[in-house]
Amino acid sequence: MLRLSGITKTYPTPQGPLRVLDSVDLELAAGESLALMGESGSGKSTLLHLAAGLDLPDSGSVELDGQRLSALSEPARASLRRHRLGLVFQQFHLVPSLSVRDNLTLQARLAGRDDRAWTDHLLARLGLDGLDDRYPEQLSGGQQQRLAIGRALAPRPQLLLADEPTGNLDEAVADQVLALLQTLIDESGCALLVVTHSTRVAAPMGRRLRLARGRLLEPGR
Ligand SMILES: Nc1ncnc2c1ncn2[C@@H]1O[C@H](COP(=O)(O)OP(=O)(O)OP(=O)(O)O)[C@@H](O)[C@H]1O
């Protein structure tokens, strides 16, 4: 499903080049869940951006469903993202001028996969049924985050990439959102790569890896 091979990424900084990822290998099979942990600045978001083809590595390859991202044009990578990936960030990035339902279906429509029954199911699952006509500013933080998760899952992606999906929520709401995310992932058979500082978020994932000094390690090493 997702394969990163020998990924190296260096950023230029005033102090000289900063090597954030150093020959990183990672494979994620269909339906698998993986938590990527590590200290602030260890390169977790960088890895997630590379996995999504939002940025390209200096060397090494990222393959999504057997397609090498660096061999694709930017529009082709955007199309692949639209059809295969769901993205959830700590900032919800909802569209303020669109209703709850339209926010939820936006990505699905762009991917040509707007399925009313699945949308209704998601709205109910997310506890947002009855709120279809509201706008994001009329929702609580937890509701907005649930909507962002629903939007990512609406086109039925094969892989969900989530960067601190509960980072903006208090613990009780975060637990609810997390349980929901897990249920929806199980229902849809989607693989999940979640970047998190939180051991609570990481605990239920099938695998946990830690990024340190540019390398991926098993936890505890
Ligand atoms: N565009 C950039 N230019 C220069 N340095 C960058 C750039 N993007 C990230 N960095 C640096 O690369 C390192 C890794 O950043 P990254 O955001 O991937 O870390 P992270 O593990 O996700 O951190 P956090 O947990 O704080 O979000 C940091 O030292 C950061 O300052």
* Structural domain spans, the chain: 2-217
Pocket test for ligand 1, best of 9, 13, 45, 89 (most atoms within 8 A of CB): 45
Residue 73, ligand 1, Cβ within 6 A:
no
pLDDT band at 180 (very low <50, low <70, confident <90, very high): confident
Q: Tokens 């699945």 — which residue? A: 118
Distance CA 199, CA 180 (A): 17
Top-tier CATH class for 2-217: alpha beta
- Residue 61 has phi, psi (to 5 degrees) of -135, 150
- Amino acid in the structure at residue 20: V
What is the phi-psi region of residue 31: left when phi exceeds 0, alpha when psi lies from -120 to 50, beta otherwise? left
Mean pLDDT along residues 96-110? 92
Label residue 101 by pLDDT band (50, 70, 90).
very high
Kindly give the distance from the C-alpha atom of residue 47 to the centroid of ligand 1, in angstroms, as a whole number. Answer: 10
Q: List phi, psi (to 5°) of 125.
A: -60, -35
Do the Cβ atoms of 215 and 24 come closer than 8 Å? yes
Q: Check whether 221 has a pLDDT greater than 60.
A: no
Identify which of 140, 152, 135, 136 has the alpha carbon closest to the alpha carbon of residue 176. Answer: 140
Q: Of all atoms in ligand 1, which is nearest to the CA of residue 42? A: 21
The predicted structure's pLDDT at residue 165: 85
The tens digit of pLDDT for each residue in 145-174 reads: 889 989 998 999 999 999 988 887 778 778
Distance 41 CA to ligand 1 centre (A): 5
Q: Tell me if 9 CB under 6 Å of ligand 1.
A: no
Structure tokens at 163: 């960067």
Q: Interface pTM (ipTM) of the complex?
A: 0.96
- 41 CB within 6 A, ligand 1: yes
